Structure 1
Amino acid sequence: MNQTKIPKRISSALVNSLSAGVVPRIGLEYIAVGRKPEIESVLRELGNVAEGGAAFKLITGRYGSGKSFLIQILRNYAMDRDFVVADADLSPERRLVGTKGQGLATYRELMTHLSTRTRPDGGALEALLQKWFASLQQQAMAELGLRPDDEQLQVEVERRIFEVTGNMEHMVHGFDFARVLSAYWNGYKSSDDEQKQNALRWLRGEFPTKTEARRELGVGVIIDDDNWYDYMKLWAEFMSRIGYKGLLLFIDEGVNLYKITNTVSRQSNYEKLLTIFNDTMQGKAQHLGIFLGGTPQFVEDQRRGLFSYDALRSRLVAGRFGEGAGMLHYAGPILRLEMLSHAEILVLLEKLRDLHASHYGYEAALDQRQLMRFMESELGRMGADALLTTREVVRDFMDLLNTLHQYPERGFDELLPDVLGRSAPSGAFAGLSGGSGGAPRGAADVGAAEQPGALSSPGGGTPPATRYGAGRGQGGCSAGTAWGGNEGGAQRW
């Protein structure tokens, strides 16, 4: 079987994370399948951000439906397209706003994970600034014929820095932001490590008091719970001025806002989210994209979710002619994730089989019939129509592969429970016998793309339009409506 050679460092991270049911940070291109319309809709948003616009997307789906995986895919796509990205998971200690610095904690987490194409693992702030200074020096030397030891070079670089930062002083907190960047430049050119670190601490939101900031840097404000989002808008503008296309924030686990028990605190977070939504939708923010992941309950629960806040509900509720009429809508502020189709999951299982074989150095033995039988076993489990997710399928399959590898004397037929009498309905896998050629139209094999972000279909065949239940995009299907509804052009969970 044709196996793609994957570096050991990447294959190890993939095998370990997938076996544990978590999303890997690296190597996603080797296992990504499907999500073509979702990815294309976000790529259009990235184009708007690159042209000076702003974007806001709520990515919703049940636990295990692939929200975090899609967010990581989009993060990698964005870095390949020369965006600066930052990501954070919300938690009880990290919110949008809070009385104990939870909003500032989110800002710090985002700055810690600030990443570029050359620094994809975070911690890119200092490298980003130094790269900018070095590029200004190179430009000045090339344009004015200066040498590295010319005093005029430092004067010219400083003029160009002030030209960029000066154009930002009209923005909220722009003057203090520009002063701190200038302080970092002064420390950089004089090799004053203490001044550089003080400036970086301020930019990362680590100064505890205004008094300390005034003493060390001569600025009278600090980044705190109330203003951290204003500084994100400043960062977005700054990134666009130093050669990047913009700043993208990927915030996952939005359900932690839903879990806030105190009503006043929860509403305060929703109010901050409303501010962010309005800024991005109305054009007040520039070169900024924000993508928030959460469950359907977090969005649609009218008692504690976003829909409990009338101003947000009126902006996010489905329209009459798209989602309100039962059709998927990718242009709105909410991106609802359906489960992967059976054909797409079969392609995924093939990739996982080859990944496992490549990592442990053996010849992949499971054939198409055995992969389909494994899928039948998963689909035949009690409650699968309502509870089965892609995460569960992946974990079970990785467990099967690990067991077969560790105990080679045990065969596939011995390990897999007998599925006779409780398999998927007749015709469920029609069109899949040809392997990945049975994938539905629109299923994107991202890992096979030749260019970053290119999308290619793993096949042209379309299996019967059989679905698990109703409730598409609403986080699941009712157990009483298994295998109903002829819509969508593909079998889906």
Structure 2
Amino acid sequence: MIDNIKPKEATAIVNSLLGGVVPKLGVQHITVGRSPEIAAFLQALNDVKNGHSMVKFWIGDFGSGKSFMLHLLNTVALKQKFVVANADFTPDNRLYANDHKAVALYAAIMDNIAIQTKPEGGALATLLEKWMEQVMSRVAAAENIPLPSIRDQKHLPKVQAAIMATIQELTDVGGFDFGTVVMKYYEGYVTGNDTLRRDALKWLKGEYRTKTEARRDLGVREIINDLNYYDMLKNFCRLFVSMGYSGFMINLDEAINLYKIASSATREKNYEKILTIYNDCFQGKIEHFFLNFAGTREVLENERRGLFSYQALKSRLETNKFETSALRDFAQPVIRLMPLTHNEVFVLLQKLKEIFDFNYQSQLAITDADIEAFMEEMFNKPGASEFLTPREVIRDFLNILSLLRQNPELDKKQLFGDIQIRDERPGANDSAVDAIEVL
């Protein structure tokens, strides 16, 4: 049932799910019941490849699979040659702020940039160096300079001039400082000055807090801040596309942390920023840009604190009035994620058992009938209909497999009977309002 899984992926899946979080690697091997959503997403990716931009809101109850879906989208987009970044909203990360909380979100995005050859993130330096190699090749060809010689310091001004010219063509706002810093990175790259490279990367990732520091280290007058970080994201999007990538996709999870902002004025400013991005994407003001948000129904629909409290967003995000549970519209901006059916959970547990055996080179005596018995115990427990989430089903199942692997003499039926249902919903035990769910 599980084809072409790599040992590293199997280990990531087992360890992450046992820890109650979504694995960064291998999510495609445990995907069930999401074919229509993925088909619609592939179509949206194709539109973005062709120059359009897109914003999607993945909405569902706790346990419906929002975080898992974003990780799956990440895997699919990387295979389609997108540059991808993932970040979570937190009390200290948001879209609008005047106390460094917006640029903190930007820094998290830039720190998590991934490409297919570096899916775990941290790929910004790799991308910059790849682009610089492209620029060097163009300069060498235009100036009839042997390619091995283009790195000589005597050619540094020519390459820097080409870098600045290209950056100026690609950028609308902040192009001069952006280009100057990229030139500094190039200088450090070809001369082996690691300090200069680190300082340039620090600026590009929005980690400078004062203009004085940036001017001292890099000779630039501006820094990336709460007001201009979105312009820099658009600059990077154009840069990535100029390198040959399909586009730039950003996944933002835990939108509940925008909903939880205490100040109504600040909350509204964050929703206004979402509206700005939404309008830019759908009005063609930016190309090859894809932004995904994930949040609960309350985040979307609450008319006092949610996105619907901002009338301009409500009018854009209201569900297609002709949509039903049987007749879905996956082309609209809001995609509502339905919980997995019992049949889909059964298929998922079958896959997990195979991955577990593959990871530990074991062959546990767990049959399909045993999986059915486990599910019957889980779903018939008091409180299961109200509190049980796929994350808890998965974790309990893997915990039992782990015990049986290490203690083959244990009675699996007794382990099934010992299962207890816990209320893992946000707030039930002073936990975060939208804790990361697996599925």
Instruction: Settle same-fold status: TM greater than 0.5.
Output: yes
* C-alpha distance in 1 between matches for 2:418 and 2:197: 65
Please report how far the alpha carbon of residue 406 of structure 1 lies from its aligned counterpart in structure 2 after TM superposition.
3.1
Please report how far the alpha carbon of residue 138 of structure 1 lies from its aligned counterpart in structure 2 after TM superposition.
4.0
TM-score by length of 1: 0.79
Aligned residue identity for 1:391: R
Partner of residue 103, structure 2: 104
Please report how far the alpha carbon of residue 359 of structure 1 lies from its aligned counterpart in structure 2 after TM superposition.
2.2
* C-alpha distance in 2 between matches for 1:194 and 1:405: 49
Aligned residue identity for 1:111: M
* C-alpha distance in 2 between matches for 1:3 and 1:177: 46
Deviations 1:103-123 (A, max 9, x none): 111111111111111222221
Partner of residue 167, structure 2: 165
Partner of residue 126, structure 1: 125
Partner of residue 182, structure 1: 183
Deviates more, 1:386-395 or 1:301-310: 386-395
Alpha-carbon spacing, 1:179–1:403, altered in 2? closer, same or farther (3 Å): same
Partner of residue 283, structure 1: 284
* C-alpha distance in 2 between matches for 1:94 and 1:277: 19
Contact 1:5 1:358 in 2 (8 A): no
Partner of residue 320, structure 1: 321
Partner of residue 268, structure 1: 269
Contact 1:65 1:391 in 2 (8 A): no
In the alignment, structure 1 residue 330 sits paired with structure 2 residue 319 = no
* C-alpha distance in 2 between matches for 1:181 and 1:334: 37
Partner of residue 310, structure 1: 311
Alpha-carbon spacing, 1:128–1:18, altered in 2? closer, same or farther (3 Å): same
Alpha-carbon spacing, 1:192–1:359, altered in 2? closer, same or farther (3 Å): closer
Aligned residue identity for 1:279: D
In the alignment, structure 1 residue 70 sits paired with structure 2 residue 69 = yes
Contact 1:113 1:123 in 2 (8 A): yes
Partner of residue 44, structure 1: 43
Partner of residue 426, structure 1: none
Unaligned runs of 5+ in 1: 420-474, 476-492
* C-alpha distance in 1 between matches for 2:209 and 2:158: 35
* C-alpha distance in 2 between matches for 1:73 and 1:415: 32
Contact 1:164 1:241 in 2 (8 A): no
Deviates more, 1:149-158 or 1:292-301: 149-158
* C-alpha distance in 2 between matches for 1:413 and 1:218: 69
Aligned residue identity for 1:257: L
Please report how far the alpha carbon of residue 40 of structure 1 lies from its aligned counterpart in structure 2 after TM superposition.
1.4
Please report how far the alpha carbon of residue 141 of structure 1 lies from its aligned counterpart in structure 2 after TM superposition.
5.0
Residue 261 of structure 2 aligns to a residue in which SS? coil
Residue 170 of structure 2 aligns to a residue in which SS? coil
Unaligned runs of 5+ in 2: 420-424, 426-438
* C-alpha distance in 1 between matches for 2:37 and 2:382: 30
Aligned residue identity for 2:298: Q
Alpha-carbon spacing, 1:192–1:415, altered in 2? closer, same or farther (3 Å): closer
Partner of residue 423, structure 1: none
In the alignment, structure 1 residue 256 sits paired with structure 2 residue 229 = no
Partner of residue 463, structure 1: none
Partner of residue 465, structure 1: none
Contact 2:82 2:248 in 1 (8 A): yes
* C-alpha distance in 2 between matches for 1:231 and 1:391: 37
Please report how far the alpha carbon of residue 78 of structure 1 lies from its aligned counterpart in structure 2 after TM superposition.
1.2
Contact 1:137 1:153 in 2 (8 A): no
Contact 1:141 1:148 in 2 (8 A): no
- Where relative contact order (Cα < 8 A, 6+ residues apart) is larger, the structure is 2
Please report how far the alpha carbon of residue 231 of structure 1 lies from its aligned counterpart in structure 2 after TM superposition.
0.9
Contact 2:320 2:332 in 1 (8 A): no
Within-5 A mapping of 1:360-399: 360-399=360-399
Please report how far the alpha carbon of residue 139 of structure 1 lies from its aligned counterpart in structure 2 after TM superposition.
5.1
In the alignment, structure 1 residue 220 sits paired with structure 2 residue 189 = no
Within-5 A mapping of 1:380-419: 380-417=380-417
Partner of residue 356, structure 1: 356
Please report how far the alpha carbon of residue 3 of structure 1 lies from its aligned counterpart in structure 2 after TM superposition.
6.8
Deviations 1:144-169 (A, max 9, x none): 47242266965664454344212124
Deviations 1:397-426 (A, max 9, x none): 11221232233222223332399xxxxxxx
Once superposed, what is the RMSD of the aligned Cα atoms?
Answer: 2.6
* C-alpha distance in 1 between matches for 2:16 and 2:32: 17
Contact 1:140 1:146 in 2 (8 A): no
Partner of residue 94, structure 2: 95
* C-alpha distance in 1 between matches for 2:336 and 2:356: 31
* C-alpha distance in 2 between matches for 1:123 and 1:3: 29
More helix by share: 2
Q: Percent identity?
A: 39
Alpha-carbon spacing, 1:415–1:194, altered in 2? closer, same or farther (3 Å): closer
Please report how far the alpha carbon of residue 142 of structure 1 lies from its aligned counterpart in structure 2 after TM superposition.
6.3
* C-alpha distance in 2 between matches for 1:408 and 1:195: 57
Deviations 1:154-200 (A, max 9, x none): 5664454344212124x122332223222322333343333322221
* C-alpha distance in 2 between matches for 1:5 and 1:366: 22
In the alignment, structure 1 residue 20 sits paired with structure 2 residue 19 = yes
* C-alpha distance in 1 between matches for 2:286 and 2:211: 27
Residue 244 of structure 1 aligns to a residue in which SS? coil
Contact 2:163 2:179 in 1 (8 A): no
Please report how far the alpha carbon of residue 226 of structure 1 lies from its aligned counterpart in structure 2 after TM superposition.
1.5
* C-alpha distance in 2 between matches for 1:387 and 1:12: 28
* C-alpha distance in 2 between matches for 1:383 and 1:165: 58
Aligned residue identity for 1:281: F
Aligned residue identity for 1:66: G
* C-alpha distance in 1 between matches for 2:123 and 2:173: 24
Contact 1:3 1:358 in 2 (8 A): no
